[in-house]
A and B are shown apart, each in its own frame.
Chain A
């Protein structure tokens, strides 16, 4: 009898609202723990996934519930490759926003209350790629998992 290889990829469908995003993050962290990822790496993936999903809910779907986001996660030798897919509005500039850091040195009244999301996504990922295919948005990225010891 052959022992099946550990399944190193998974796909999740997520409804476009904040509580469904929260549930999905719970599901993603459980799956990553099953894949043997280190706690620190899982925390990073959870943060990036939260930022991307929140952006899709808020901007691509304009906070309209009842739409679907698909998340495909694939574990490879250089880290996790994740693609997010939605059929909402395209990115305004035709590409993912830049990694502009919110200004921590601003005067009291001007301290940023937002604009941290894309900065965190850029900071914590590599190979960030946005594509518009017909009516779909596809955002792909690689998340390094430096704390995880790979078991083959």
Chain B
């Protein structure tokens, strides 16, 4: 599970560089997110534009990543592909996050 992270102004962007967030990598994903976001800006954007598949373990790991940021920080999601978007909508987790079609749209929304 590879994540790339950068800080632009007051926003941290974390890009998932793998095509799948599934049961095989859910725990690694959560740990890697913790490492990338432990310090730094209050707003974190998770760029999912490369991710083609997510299962319920991956979804749970993204929710856990948001919770480990704490109430005072924020995790927004960008670039959901159709199969990923579908999992968020079916489980109504789309109501828990701000979703943006692209990373640029998420950055502009600040």
Given A108-B71, A111-B63, check contact A116 B56 (CB 8 Å). yes
**Is B22 positioned at the interface, with any CB of A under 8 Å from its CB?**
yes
The stretch of A47-55, A81-89, A129-137 in contact with B is: A47-55
Given A47-B55, A51-B56, A101-B91, check contact A113 B67 (CB 8 Å). yes
The tally of residues in A whose CB lies under 8 Å from a CB in B reads 32
The stretch of B1-9, B39-47, B92-100 in contact with A is: B92-100
Assembly CA distance A19 to B26 (angstroms)? 12
Assembly CA distance A78 to B56 (angstroms)? 26
CB of A113 within 8 A of CB of B63, answer yes
Contacts of A18 in B (CB 8 A): 22-24
Q: How far is the CB of A27 from chain B (nearest CB, A)?
A: 14
Name the residue on A nearest B59 (C-beta). A116
The tally of residues in B whose CB lies under 8 Å from a CB in A reads 26
Q: Please encode chain B, from 8 to 29, with 1 for each CB lying within 8 Å of some chain A CB and 0 for all others.
A: 0000000000001011100000
CB of B67 within 8 A of CB of A104, answer no
**Is A40 positioned at the interface, with any CB of B under 8 Å from its CB?**
yes
**Is A144 positioned at the interface, with any CB of B under 8 Å from its CB?**
no
| 11 intermolecular pairs with C-beta atoms under 8 Å apart | A21-B22, A43-B83, A46-B83, A51-B55, A54-B56, A57-B23, A105-B95, A113-B64, A116-B60, A117-B56, A123-B90
Q: Which 8 A-B pairs have the closest CB atoms?
A: A18-B24, A116-B56, A104-B92, A113-B60, A117-B56, A43-B83, A50-B55, A113-B64
